[in-house]
Amino acid sequence: MAKIVMKFGSNLLVKGGQIDKTYIITIASLANDLLNAGHEVAIVTSGAAAAGRVLIPNLESVKDIVSKQALCAVGQPKLMEIYQVAFSFYNRTVGQILVTRDDFTNRQRFLNLRNTLIGLEKVGVIPIVNENDTVSVDEIKLGDNDTLSAMFSVCWNADYLFLMTSVDGVIGSDGRVLDEYHIGSKEPVLANLEKTSHGTGGIATKINAAKIAAESGVESYIINGRRLECVKEVLAGKRCGTHFSVSGKRRLTKKESWVKYISKPKGTVYINDGAFKALIERKSLLPVGITDIEGEFSKGDVVLIMYNSKVIGKGITNYGSEELRQIKGKKSSEISEEIYTYDEAIHADNIILEISEVN
């Protein structure tokens, strides 16, 4: 049986300026069928601001961040109430999960979130996930729930991610829906579709989210949210919407995916020619290959790896920035015992390269 994440945006959830309760009942019906079939289900939802505008109509046209946070603070409980009522028709219980970028980028909080989800699984509660817009500012804001759904899918170890949209999938320049979007091959030319008035993303954010999830081992689809039966069709092995496939390269482990797509680098290490050659041969980064350090970070933090003025990857460092400044450019035999802990500054298993960016 599969773990399924379904993401619904405001373009589907909002009708006539308010939350479409009938549509959410349809979502609950689909989720109930999936659960009865033995699957696990999580829902990533938008709509808090729309729910808030109904309760505080005088803020409807206000766009400053403080007013938006106020709308979400009022609207989020209302949105959850609508979901709970809809799922109660099927004797199901939902649980609210509100997250910010820090809940994913901080490795410990990431693991804590995963443990919370394990707890909800054990008691049969369906996670309803949204960004915590009431406290989100630019530094910790995810910005769109498409990206959130991809990060959540990685965290939850999902098997499927369904990104719902208002069309039948990713539409090519010829006006036809792509059955398959091959990641790693030449990018297809797409139709120019604008984002909706209610949503914060568009087809571009959905494609990026689907790529993150697909490269991380999650079967990812962009489908028409008005044809929810498409989810069952996909699970039955039929074609529906646009499927994202990884061409010509292995899928990332969950840890690698976290390093590449989710982590927030705390600093930068600059490397020399010898280190670059070692990295492309899948070897570890040694202190002797480091030429400079930028930023302040601790052991276990993620750092950017820079070569010839270009970022070539990320890695989890074995040393803090202060220690690396003392041992950079040195061989193991030249490092004092007080500092020396590991042979590697960054172990090969903790490095994700993006060599395609290097000429």
CATH number, domain of 210, equals: 3.40.1160.10
Give 5-41 pLDDT, tens digit per residue.
999 999 999 998 889 999 999 999 999 999 999 999 9
User: Are 71 and 187 within one domain?
Assistant: yes
CB 209 within 8 A of CB 244: no
Residue 195, pLDDT above cutoff 60: no
Could you tell me if 233 and 315 lie in one domain? no
**202 known member of a binding site:** yes
Element (H, E) at 222: strand 219-224
Give a yes or no: residue 259 inside a domain.
no
269 lies in the same domain as 126: no
Residue 46 assigned as binding residue: yes
Residue 197 predicted with pLDDT over 90: no
Q: What angle do CA 51, 57, 59 make, to 5 degrees?
A: 95
341 against 125, higher pLDDT: 125
Is residue 237 a known part of a binding site? no
Question: Both 167 and 272 in a single domain?
Answer: no
The reply to whether 104 and 79 lie within a common domain is yes
Longest alpha-carbon distance in the chain: 71
The pLDDT of residue 138 is above 80: no
Residue 134 sits in the same domain as residue 20: yes
Domain match, 43 and 171 both: yes
Do 246 and 275 lie in a common domain? no
In a domain, 10, yes or no: yes
Which residue, of 253, 273, 297, is where some domain finishes? 253
Find tokens 């079939």 and name the residue.
Answer: 37
Over residues 102-106, the mean pLDDT reads 85
Mean pLDDT of the region 279-307: 96
Q: Tell me, yes or no, whether 260 lies in a domain.
A: no
Does the annotation place 51 within a ligand binding site?
Answer: no
Name the pLDDT band for 50 (thresholds 50, 70, 90). confident
CATH code: domain of residue 289 = 2.30.130.10
Give 333-357 pLDDT, tens digit per residue.
999 988 898 999 999 999 999 875 4
Which band of pLDDT confidence, cut at 50, 70 and 90, is reported for residue 134? low
The total number of structural domains in the chain stands at 2
pLDDT tens digit sequence for 141-184: 566 899 999 999 998 999 999 999 999 999 988 889 999 998 87
Q: What pLDDT, on the 0 to 100 scale, is given for residue 330?
A: 95
pLDDT at 111: 85
Give a yes or no: residue 351 inside a domain: yes
Question: Does 222 reside within a domain?
Answer: yes
Is pLDDT of 225 > 80?
yes
Query: Is 341 labelled as part of a ligand binding site?
Result: no
Do 227 and 307 reside in the same domain of the chain?
A: no
Please, are residues 257 and 215 in contact by the beta-carbon 8 Å criterion? yes
Q: Are residues 160 and 304 in the same domain?
A: no
Residues 353 and 212 grouped into a single domain: no
What's the pTM value of the predicted model, to 2 decimals?
0.84
Is 133 annotated to bind a ligand? Reply is: yes
pLDDT band at 258; cut points 50, 70, 90:
confident
My answer on whether 91 and 238 are in the same domain is: yes
pLDDT category at 269 given cuts 50, 70, 90 is very high
C-beta separation of 287 from 339 below 8 A: no
Tell me: is residue 36 an annotated ligand-binding position.
Answer: no
Tokens 């450019």 locate to: 329
* Residue 198: per-residue pLDDT: 44
**Which range marks the domain in which residue 285 is found?**
265-357
